[in-house]
């Protein structure tokens, strides 16, 4: 009988502890974690200042290539978040397949090819960067990063601004 009472007491004690443990766990789940901003964050006011500082260059490019055609060149590219996330996962895998370690992305300004004498609009191209994943046989590994992974695919086909020449914010 004494063992039976200890068993029942143990079950009650265990259930009580689990109740309070799960209640504490549920409170933790409900509160979203604090996300620390990465380095390089700029304010919307700074974005506006920087895009307006580009106006003179944009006008030179647009007036010389597109003004006679009565069209505007792109000032921005829009990429769906899911596409960027999928691309990052794809680029990491492709880098690993090529014995590289991806450490970042570089954005290049490019332009679509001219078709029927109409110059292609400006676009942004994502290119993965990284370094060799394999050791060179040294005890000390001094790996530099940031070089373009030239055997990896880039990402393009972002949507253009509405209208293409629109400045920030759109």
- Secondary structure (3-state) at 32: coil
What are the backbone dihedrals phi and psi of residue 120, each rounded to the nearest 5 degrees, phi first? -70, 150
Q: Looking at the domain assignment, is residue 168 inside a domain?
A: no
Q: Quick one: 21 and 104 in the same domain?
A: no
- By C-alpha distance, which of 160, 71, 166, 146 is closest to 110? 160
Confidence band (pLDDT; 50, 70, 90) for 141? very low
Number of domain units in the chain: 2
Q: Looking at the domain assignment, is residue 122 inside a domain?
A: yes
CA–CA dist 40, 46 (Å, integer) = 12
Q: Quick one: 53 and 123 in the same domain?
A: yes
Q: Looking at the domain assignment, is residue 23 inside a domain?
A: yes
Q: Quick one: 81 and 20 in the same domain?
A: no
Say whether pLDDT at 11 is over 60. Answer: yes
Q: Looking at the domain assignment, is residue 167 inside a domain?
A: no
Q: Looking at the domain assignment, is residue 165 inside a domain?
A: no
Q: What is the pLDDT of residue 66?
A: 86
Q: Quick one: 74 and 5 in the same domain?
A: no
Q: How many CB atoms lie within 10 A of CB 22?
A: 10
Containing structural domain, residue 24:
1-35
Q: What is the pLDDT of residues 65-111, one digit of tens each?
A: 888 888 889 899 999 999 999 999 999 999 999 999 999 999 999 99
Q: How many CB atoms lie within 10 A of CB 48?
A: 13
| Contact of 104 with 145, CB cutoff 8 Å | yes
CA 31 to chain CA centroid, nearest Å: 25
Name, of 6-15, 33-42, 85-94, 138-147, the range with top average pLDDT.
Answer: 85-94
Q: What is the pLDDT of residues 19-68, one digit of tens each?
A: 777 766 555 566 778 889 888 899 999 999 999 999 999 999 888 888 88
């Amino acid at each position: 009988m004494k063992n039976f009472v200890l068993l029942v007491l143990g079950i009650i004690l265990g259930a009580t502890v689990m109740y309070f443990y799960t209640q504490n766990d549920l409170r933790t789940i409900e509160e979203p974690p604090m996300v620390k901003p990465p380095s390089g964050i700029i304010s919307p006011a700074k974005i506006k200042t920087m895009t307006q500082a580009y106006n003179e260059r944009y006008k030179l490019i647009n007036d010389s290539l597109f003004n006679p055609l009565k069209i505007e060149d792109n000032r921005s590219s829009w990429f769906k978040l899911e596409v960027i996330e999928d691309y990052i996962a794809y680029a990491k895998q492709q880098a690993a397949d090529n014995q590289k370690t991806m450490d970042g992305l570089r954005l290049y300004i490019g332009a679509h090819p001219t078709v029927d004498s109409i110059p292609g609009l400006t676009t942004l191209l994502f290119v993965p960067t990284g370094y060799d994943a394999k050791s060179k046989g040294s005890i000390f590994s001094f790996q530099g990063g940031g070089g373009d992974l030239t055997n990896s695919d880039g990402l393009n086909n972002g949507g253009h601004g509405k209208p293409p020449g629109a400045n920030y914010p759109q």
